[in-house]
Each structure stands twice: as structure tokens, then as C-alpha cells.
Amino acid sequence: MLTSAIRTIKKNKLMTFINVLSLAIGISATLVIFLFVQYDYSFDKHVPDKERVYRIVTDGTFKISGLVAPLIETIDQEASNKEFIAPIFKSFLEKIKIPATSNSEEKVFFKDNKIAFVNEKYFELYPHTWLAGNVKDLNKPNSIVLTERNLERFFPKETPDAVLGKTIVFLDSINLQVTGVVKEMTENSEFKFQSFLSTATIPSYPSLNKIFAYDSWNNYNDNTNALIKLKPGVDAETFEKTIIAINRKNKNLEENFVDDFKLQPLSDVHFNSDFNYNATKAGTLRNMIILAIFLLALGIINFINLTTAQSTERAKEIGIRKTLGSSKARLTRQFLTETFLIALTATLLSLLFTPILLKAFEGFIPPGLSLSALASPLAIAFLVGQLLLVTLLAGFYPAWVLTGYSPILALKNQVNQNSNLSRSTWVRKVMTVFQFALAQVFLIAVFLVVKQTTYISNKDLGFQKEAVLTLTIPGNYQNSAKGNILKTRLGSIPEIQSISFGNQAPILNGEMKTSIMLDNSSTEESIDMDFRSGDDQYLHVYGIPLVAGRNVIMRDSLQEILINEKALQKLKLESPQEALGLTLNKKSMMIVGVMKDFDITNARVENRAILFAGDRDGYVMHIKLNKDHPETWKGTTDKIAKEFNAVFPTDLFEFKFVDETIQGLYTKEMQLSKLLTWAVTLSIVIAGLGLFGLGLFTANQRTKEIGIRKVLGASISQILMMLLKGLLSLVAIACLLAFPIAWYFGNKWLEDFNYRTAFSWWIFPVSAMGLLLVATVILLSKTYLAARANPVDSLRDE
């Protein structure tokens, strides 16, 4: 049986090649997507009692993954029904210095240190193997625990025990003592770090205190996280009410104040984009799985179509086998064996294609995903299972068609009278329509995603995004004189138009929130707003206009603030002038101006209420260049680097243009565009291979008819039209069927954006003409040769 199968495969080399290539592309696509899905669903699966572990998130007027820092310790002290709470303060500042010794020079590490401030409770949630030290020492101030990886980076060739007690300097001035070394967490987690600093260190340093708003009950920060483990049987919703009550009591708020906190299940952290801007949506993974199924289905359809199309050529073989006593079951096993060999070859070939696809998706691949995952037992089981499934799906229907032939009709060359053949012809047409309808949907989706990303890239954000760069002042020098020294030196560069100190740019990938209360308000209601701060040059740098009042003036007592037009609605004020002079938070702030609305995050979110606080002690320098002369920017940044290095000789110079930061907000849209481009490419390649095979079969089957028509005077163009019209009509039907499907799902996708482009009508005819053109070229590649063939050759008898 195996020998016979191999012989049959060798006899039909071209069709076998098309089948193998189609299936290999589909299988490699499913394999790549399987690796993605396996990776994403592996996050935090290893945590003990994970079903009782939650992250506390702010889920009130705004959603943010962090919370106010003092609430963490207060919950720990006042809330019962919990086992423990683990604070996690993620540090976006990473500079670590290893002081020089008699045997080594000073070393500085600026990146990839993956730092978080934690206490011993973190290691109860995420058990690590301790190579040296004691977890209890992490509760002491100025303590740091390293993973084995960072131990090798910071102290090469040192043993874990040997580094205990050694000094590490964080942000130039915070001296830390190594109190432990642990093995690196091998599992995937949203809370995976390489350097663990003690939370007890934060209160001792004003710069850390300000970064994490450690003492503030009003400032919410994405980097201030808390994981909590409830006691068995405790209801999460009931505990949420406990947290809200604790927050209300300690903020001394009225009962009508609404500020919700939610316990987010640990299993939800990786997937929920409400609280994680870089989240992988579960819906995205489902769509990728559906995409993989479709691409594999296209390859299987090719196999079924080409195998059933060749059925007449195998009719005599089947008739002879049946006459010699082969049963239907035996013939079915024979055809399934042939299918298995083709599917096995395609699977092996897909292992060569997979690295190519992974390379193509390089910007889309998470850092923890690699080809080594293919060697996992789960991946091997997936490959074997897929091989068997493809064999059954691709082989069963052709086997049923072929074994259904009457041996008498087969031996008389009268298989066209067989009902199975007629039925398989209709099935083949339906499957061809499905293939190209799917390719058409993908093609329309590519047009739409590119149109939307172009729209949001060119949208007026309400501030100047071009020619503005941001530069973070090194941690030790935040709020210090050296920042002002740098500003003065940069002021002498003529290409720089203005400079401001502030926190983040107007638009960012994250959340900065604050809550305020209007003085003398009848309701004493607390109002949540997005928060930005900067000095009196901030608005000049970004070109943000005022609709009322004036700009902020830096004062040491009363802090002047600005609000935007959207904030007027929250404050229930009817006009901008009505806001001027109002004081907030027990007269610690005063509104002196109203800004025109501007975007603060991506186009999925509508404009929100913003409070801008006058603050000269920002840690980010915002530098405005001449946007009319981009050719000078490179030289200007080189000058900035020179001045920076003169003031901060031991620090890393890094800057980012604001428009590049904005592009980063749409990483997922760019990734989707790339994914869809590959999907449409692969689907057209697979469908095109199938169409080529069907065109080849059609031309071969109608060779004598072509010869007769040419003898009777038919032109090449008439013969081409005869050969093409049947298959091209199927492609045209596919396009028409694809239009309403693409229209529905395209509009559903656009609904996610508050600011979106129009789903233009021209996308449909343009994409359809493109697909028809591709189909025509594919079919012409074979049918043209058939149409030009010498009729003497085609009419010669067997």
C-alpha cells in the first residue's frame, strides 16, 4: 500500500508539488500562531493558588492599573480576609553603578536592569530559588536582591555568597547593599524582574517619594501596583467594597464621592487592555486562531479541489482495482495513505518555513518567544495532531468521491455519468469561491487598516508634535541645579526655539491621574482628571493655545493650574471665564487659564478632562526645534548630546521625538496591518496555487476541444476567454460575497476608535480588480500555452 502510494505521488509531480506547498504554507502559519497563543496563555500560570490572587486596579471615572500608594499599606493594616498584600513599584529609571574596587573599574548599567521595589510578600506570590541571602532582609531599607542573570552582569565570576554585602549605587546617590541572590524566574509573568529593591527604601529619598507619589492620596500612578491574595472562600466583590470604604475613610471624603477599585484576577492581567496598554487581547488571539484555521483550510481546499479534479484520470485505475477485488475500505486506506505522505512532507517543509515567518513578524514577536518552543512536548503533540487532522480532512472527501465510482463506467471511460463526479464539481466550485472570498476580505481589511492608521497619523492632536524631542534628566539630578545648568547651556544653541521642564509629553502610552475638589462646592465632590505638569514654557513648546485666562506663573505657595475645555463639563461650568480664579484642594491650587482640548492618548479614547499644574521641578526636558528645517535636526541633536555629556559625563544620553512616541501608541494597529498583509499574501498564494492547478487541469482536459476550435477558425483570444470565463466568474462571485462580510467586520473594528476614517466605497472595486487581475495572470500563465498549442498535436489519438 505504501509503495503504491509513493508511485502514485511520483507520477503526478506538479500536482503533488502544488498540494505540498499549499499545505506547508497553511501548516507553517498555524504553527507560528500556535507559538503565539501558547506563549500568551502561559503568563502567570505557575503562581500558587493563582485563582485567589488579584491585582488592585482603579476602576472609577478612569481606569488605571495603579492606585494611590498610601492605600497599599492602609489595606495591609486595616483589611481582614486577606492572606497578604504585595506592593510592586515598577521603576522606569534603571541606572545602576558598580563602584570601582582594587581589582576592578567602575561599571555603569543604564538599561535592561528590570527593577522593581518589593518586599518579602512578592516572593510568597512568586517563589524563587534562593542561592544566597534571606528574604527577610529585603524588608530593610537600602536592600537589593539580584537574579543570577544580573549577578553575572554586575559581578562577573563572583559566587552568590561572595556578593552579599557588596554595594550597588542606584541613580548615582542611592547606596544599596546586596542581601540576596535568586534564580531567575523561567516562567512567563507580567511581574517578572531582575533586580528587587526594598520598598522600605522609598520614603528615605525625596526623588523616589515624588516619582511614586508615595505619600499622596490623590495621585494615581501606573507604576504603583499591588497584588493581593485573599483567604479561601472570600468573595472578591465583597472585598472590593472593603477597599473602597478604607479609601473613603482615609481620604476623609463625603459619602457621595464615587471612586471604585476592582480586584483584577491575575489571569486577566496579561489580556485586559483597560489596565494594560501593551496587553494582548484575548480577542486578538481568537482572531489569530481563526486566521490560522482559514489559512490551513485554504491548503486543504486546494488538495481536495485538485485531487477530485484529477479523478477522471484515475478512473480506470479504480475500476481495475475494484474488478480485482479491492474493497471500498481498502481503497479508502490507499487514498488516505497518499494524503498522509503528502501532509507529512508538507509538515516537514513547514518547519523550514516557520523561521522565515517568525523573521517576517520580528517586530510582532514578544521577547520571550523563540523557535526553541517548537521542541516542547505540547508543540510536538500539536504538530502530530495537526498532521492526522489534515490527513483526515484533506483525504476523506476525495477518497469518498474516488471510491464511489462504478467499475463498469470507469472501465468504459464513462465516469462523467457518475453522480459523484457531478457533485464533486459543484463542491470544487464552492470551495474555490470560499478561497477567493477569504482572500478578498483580507485584502479589503488591509486597505481599511492602512487608511485608518494614515488618518490617525495625520490627525490634528491639538498640539505641535513635529520637531519636539524629550530628554529625561538623570535620576540623581532631578529637581537639582544641574538640570537648570543644562537648560542654560542648551539655550545658547540657535536651532533650539524653546525649552521646558515638565513631566510627560501631552500624549503618552500610560496614565497619570489626579483627583481634585472645588473649594466652596455645595457637594464637596472629588473629581478625577488626567494630569500633566510643567513650567511656564511648556505650552510654548507644544503650541497649546489658551481660550481664556493666562499661562501659569511659578510660585512657591499657591500652585497655579490650567484646565482644558473638557474639564469645564466635569466642573459643571458653563464658560471658560467662570473657571478663572476658582481654588481647589483647600486653596492649595488656583485655576488661572483654560486650554483648548488636546489629545492625551490614542485615537481609541476621546478627549478627557485635563489638569495642568505649574511645576518647575519636572524630570523631563522638552525641547522645540525648528520644524521648517528638518535638515538641521541631526546636527542640533549632536550639539544637545555634547552639552548633556558635559553636564552629566557618566550618564547615558537618550532622547525621543514626540511624533515617534505617538507612533508607538499605534503599535498594535501597525502590527495588525502587517499581520493582515501577510494573511492576504499567504491566502492569495495558496488560492493562486489552487487556481493554477485547476487552470492546468482544465487546459489538459479540454486539449482536443481547443484543437477542434482552432481548426474551425477560433482565435487565441476566443479560446482564452472560453478557458478563463468559468474560473474568473467564480473569483468575481467570491468578491461579491466578500463585500458585505468585509463591510460588517470593518465597521465593527472602526467602532473601537473615537476618531476614525470613513469606510470609503472605492476600497471594494479597487480590491476586487486587484484580485481579478492576480487571478487572470495566474490562469494566463498556463492557458495561453494551451491556446497556442498546435492543433495537430492536440488532436492526435492516444
Spell out a b/e string for 386-405, using b for 16 or more CB atoms within 10 Å of the CB, else e. Answer: bbeebbebbbebbbebbbbb
Spatial distance between the Cα atoms of 564 and 567, rounded to a whole number of angstroms: 5
Compute CA distances 262 → 66, 245, 608, whole Å.
11, 13, 22
Spell out a b/e string for 265-299, using b for 16 or more CB atoms within 10 Å of the CB, else e. Answer: bbbbbbbbbebbbebbeeebbeebeebbebbbbbb
Spatial distance between the Cα atoms of 756 and 748, rounded to a whole number of angstroms: 12
Report for 5-9, 71-75, 682-686: range of highest mean pLDDT: 71-75
Of 108-112, 165-169, 623-627, 709-713, minimum mean pLDDT range = 709-713
Q: What is the pLDDT of residues 202-238, one digit of tens each?
A: 999 988 888 888 888 878 888 899 999 999 999 999 9
DSSP letter for 184, please. Answer: P
Q: What is the pLDDT of residues 492-524, one digit of tens each?
A: 999 999 999 998 889 876 667 787 878 876 666
Using an 8 Å Cβ cutoff, are 406 and 421 in contact?
Answer: no
Q: What is the pLDDT of residues 134-144, one digit of tens each?
A: 999 999 999 99
Instruction: Return mean pLDDT, the chain.
Output: 84
One-letter amino acid of 716:
I
The answer for residues whose C-beta is within 8 angstroms of residue 779's C-beta and 6 or more apart is: 691, 692, 695, 723, 724, 727, 728
> In the predicted model, is pLDDT for residue 782 greater than 80?
no
Give pLDDT, residue 254.
Answer: 45
- What is the 3-class SS of 340-375, one letter each residue? HHHHHHHHHHHHHHHHHHHHHCHHHCCCCCCHHHHH
> In the predicted model, is pLDDT for residue 471 greater than 80?
yes
Of 473-487, 518-532, 552-566, 781-795, minimum mean pLDDT range = 781-795
DSSP letter for 701, please. Answer: H
Helix 633-647 and helix 481-490, axial crossing angle in degrees, nearest 10: 150
**Rg, the chain, Cα only:** 34
> In the predicted model, is pLDDT for residue 273 greater than 80?
no
> Strand, coil or helix: what is 582?
coil
Compute CA distances 431 → 297, 437, 701, whole Å.
10, 10, 20
> In the predicted model, is pLDDT for residue 711 greater than 70?
yes
Q: Which phi and psi angles does 499 have, rounded to 5°?
A: -135, 140
DSSP character string of 486-540: HHHHHTT-TTEEEEEEESS-SS-SS-EEEEEEBTT-SS--EEEEEEEEE-TTHHH
Mean pLDDT value of segment 77-89: 93
The answer for residues whose C-beta is within 8 angstroms of residue 596's C-beta and 6 or more apart is: 462, 544, 545, 546, 547, 564, 565
The residue ranges of DSSP E strands in 254-407, in sequence order, are 261-265
Spatial distance between the Cα atoms of 753 and 208, rounded to a whole number of angstroms: 36
Give pLDDT, residue 411.
Answer: 46
Question: Positive or negative, the Cα torsion across 469, 210, 483, 557?
Answer: positive
* Pairing outcome for strands 224-230 and 82-90: antiparallel
> In the predicted model, is pLDDT for residue 1 greater than 80?
no
Spatial distance between the Cα atoms of 612 and 560, rounded to a whole number of angstroms: 9
From the number of C-beta atoms within 10 Å of its C-beta (0-12, 13-18, 19+), residue 652 rates as middle
Using an 8 Å Cβ cutoff, are 676 and 669 in contact?
Answer: no
Q: What is the pLDDT of residues 581-599, one digit of tens each?
A: 998 887 788 999 999 999 8
Using an 8 Å Cβ cutoff, are 53 and 47 in contact?
Answer: yes
> In the predicted model, is pLDDT for residue 612 greater than 90?
yes
Quick count: other Cβ atoms within 10 Å of Cβ 338? 25
DSSP letter for 563, please. Answer: E
- What is the 3-class SS of 67-120, one letter each residue? CCHHHHHHHHHHCCCEEEEEEEEECCCCCEEECCCCCCCCEEECCCCCEEEECH
Give pLDDT, residue 497.
Answer: 95
Cell of 317: 485505475
Segments making up each domain of the chain, as ranges: 1-43+281-417, 50-268, 430-460+664-798, 468-663
Q: Which phi and psi angles does 52 have, rounded to 5°?
A: -105, 5
Spatial distance between the Cα atoms of 219 and 519, rounded to a whole number of angstroms: 18
> In the predicted model, is pLDDT for residue 258 greater than 60?
no
Number of H helices, E strands in the chain: 25, 25
Q: What is the pLDDT of residues 419-443, one digit of tens each?
A: 444 556 677 778 888 888 888 998 8
Spatial distance between the Cα atoms of 591 and 580, rounded to a whole number of angstroms: 5
End-to-end CA distance of the chain: 29
Using an 8 Å Cβ cutoff, are 222 and 511 in contact?
Answer: yes
Spatial distance between the Cα atoms of 116 and 125, rounded to a whole number of angstroms: 15
One-letter amino acid of 214:
Y
pLDDT-above-90 percentage for the chain: 36
Report for 20-24, 30-34, 125-129, 656-660: range of highest mean pLDDT: 125-129
pTM of the model: 0.75
Whose cell is 502567570? That residue is: 44
Give pLDDT, residue 255.
Answer: 44
Using an 8 Å Cβ cutoff, are 210 and 176 in contact?
Answer: no
> In the predicted model, is pLDDT for residue 362 greater than 70?
no
Using an 8 Å Cβ cutoff, are 307 and 431 in contact?
Answer: no
Nearest one of 489, 494, 500 to 541, comparing CA atoms = 500
Kindly indicate the confidence band of residue 798, based on its pLDDT and cuts at 50, 70 and 90: very low
Of 159-163, 171-175, 281-285, 531-535, minimum mean pLDDT range = 281-285
Spatial distance between the Cα atoms of 246 and 284, rounded to a whole number of angstroms: 37
- Pick the more confident residue, 235 or 411: 235
Using an 8 Å Cβ cutoff, are 57 and 65 in contact?
Answer: yes
Give pLDDT, residue 323.
Answer: 65
> In the predicted model, is pLDDT for residue 476 greater than 60?
no
Nearest one of 189, 102, 86, 204 to 143, comparing CA atoms = 204
Spell out a b/e string for 714-748, using b for 16 or more CB atoms within 10 Å of the CB, else e. Answer: beeeebbebbbeebbebbbbbbebbbeebbeebee
Residue 548 forms beta bridges with which residues? 594
Mean pLDDT value of segment 717-740: 82
Q: What is the pLDDT of residues 542-570, one digit of tens each?
A: 999 999 999 999 877 778 999 999 999 88
> In the predicted model, is pLDDT for residue 131 greater than 80?
yes
User: Count of alpha carbons within 13 Å of 168, Cβ hemisphere only?
Assistant: 29
Nearest one of 755, 297, 681 to 507, comparing CA atoms = 755
The answer for residues whose C-beta is within 8 angstroms of residue 18's C-beta and 6 or more apart is: 302, 306, 689, 690, 692, 693
Spatial distance between the Cα atoms of 565 and 237, rounded to a whole number of angstroms: 36
Q: Which phi and psi angles does 744 have, rounded to 5°?
A: -65, -55
Give pLDDT, residue 477.
Answer: 58
User: Count of alpha carbons within 13 Å of 210, Cβ hemisphere only?
Assistant: 12
DSSP letter for 187, please. Answer: S
CA 128, distance to chain mean position in Å, is 29
Nearest one of 768, 129, 148, 662 to 439, comparing CA atoms = 768
Using an 8 Å Cβ cutoff, are 142 and 201 in contact?
Answer: yes
> In the predicted model, is pLDDT for residue 401 greater than 50?
yes
Nearest one of 588, 589, 606 to 597, comparing CA atoms = 606
